[in-house]
Structure 1
Amino acid sequence: MENRLIIRPAAEGDLPAIFALYGELAKAYDQKDDSGEAWREAWQDKRQHILVAERDGEIVGTLTCIVIPNLGHGGQPWAALTNVVVAAAHRGQGIGTALMAEASRLAKAANCYKIVLSSNLVRTEAHEFYRRLGWRQTHIGFSLE
């Protein structure tokens, strides 16, 4: 077992593992049957970067980095990170750090002036992880569902 970590763009065959990881975020996560269509739409959008972390053939983490066009800031886009999750059994091994570094690299390559993410209030361990990476809490978020 070589224990090598690979961060790469997700492929359609990764979907079951990605959805299992999403299930760790919310145990009641309900994936609709149209996931294949949603995947194709996201995959064809060159502004969306769905990344996976693979170790020894197993998908152990994922995140999505979305580059968003912007009229302000001299037309510079910004990036949003979402669906950030590392399998519970693999946390503390640098996987999240590697995923976040690759997302940061993608955002910089797209000339983004900022990268934002939101995290559920109850995910205090994730908040500490983001702080350790140098992220700062700068805004209060609101949502309509």
Structure 2
Amino acid sequence: MDIHFRLATEGDLDSIVYMLADDVLGSKREKYEQPLPESYINAFHSIKSDPNNELIVACKEETVVGVQQLTFTPYLTHQGGWRATVEGVRTAASVRGQGVGSELIIWAINRAKQRGCHVIQLTTDKERSDALRFYERLGFEATHEGLKLKL
């Protein structure tokens, strides 16, 4: 499949939020409606204005078929190294199983290398067993136990 990647624009938000909401877990926490809630627009502008955040879309021709957010964080650990965190990875239902997700993650790995990161990390919900297997096939290892506290 011929996919290209670029930074998301505000005009992509409708497609992005639709993908975020278009699964069992996302439908419980996202709010896809027209017009989009202002919170998504505000978040987009915050991401866009931060040089250590990138919202990346995968496109088939001009249609957005995938999305991911990359956050680059400096750390004192690992001798002051940088790490990349991948968040919000989604593909459109119409292209699932066609390699778009793999291409997104490979793109993210290469981008992290370009930015000089020593590690790339991500989390996936424990209910997403297929996603866990997907990330493991791409070389990710469950080396740490992650914890979250909802606020």
Task: State the TM-score, normalizing by the size of structure 1.
Answer: 0.92
Residue 34 of structure 1 aligns to a residue in which SS? Answer: helix
Q: Return the alpha-carbon distance in structure 1 between the equivalents of residues 117 and 47 of structure 2.
A: 19
Alpha-carbon shift at residue 113 of structure 1 (Å): 1.1
Alpha-carbon shift at residue 121 of structure 1 (Å): 0.7
Residue 22 of structure 1 aligns to a residue in which SS? Answer: helix
Q: Which runs of 5+ in 2 are unaligned?
A: none
Whether 1:82 aligns to 2:87 is: yes
Q: Return the alpha-carbon distance in structure 1 between the equivalents of residues 140 and 39 of structure 2.
A: 34
Alpha-carbon shift at residue 111 of structure 1 (Å): 1.1
Q: Which amino acid letter does the alignment assign opposite residue 102 of structure 1? A: W
Q: Return the alpha-carbon distance in structure 2 between the equivalents of residues 71 and 131 of structure 1.
A: 27
Aligned to 2:27: 27
Aligned to 2:75: 70
Q: Which runs of 5+ in 1 are unaligned?
A: none
Residue 55 of structure 2 aligns to a residue in which SS? Answer: strand
Alpha-carbon shift at residue 115 of structure 1 (Å): 0.7
Aligned length: 143
Task: State the TM-score, normalizing by the size of structure 2.
Answer: 0.88
Aligned to 1:103: 108
- The share of aligned pairs that are identical, in percent, is 31
Runs of 4+ in 1 over 3 A off after TM superposition: none
CA offsets per residue over residues 34-76 of structure 1, 9 Å max, x none? 3222211110111111111111321111111100111121211
Residue 114 of structure 1 aligns to a residue in which SS? Answer: strand
- Tell me, yes or no, if the aligned pair for 1:7 and 1:98 is still in contact at 8 Å: no
Residue 113 of structure 1 aligns to a residue in which SS? Answer: strand
Aligned to 1:138: 143
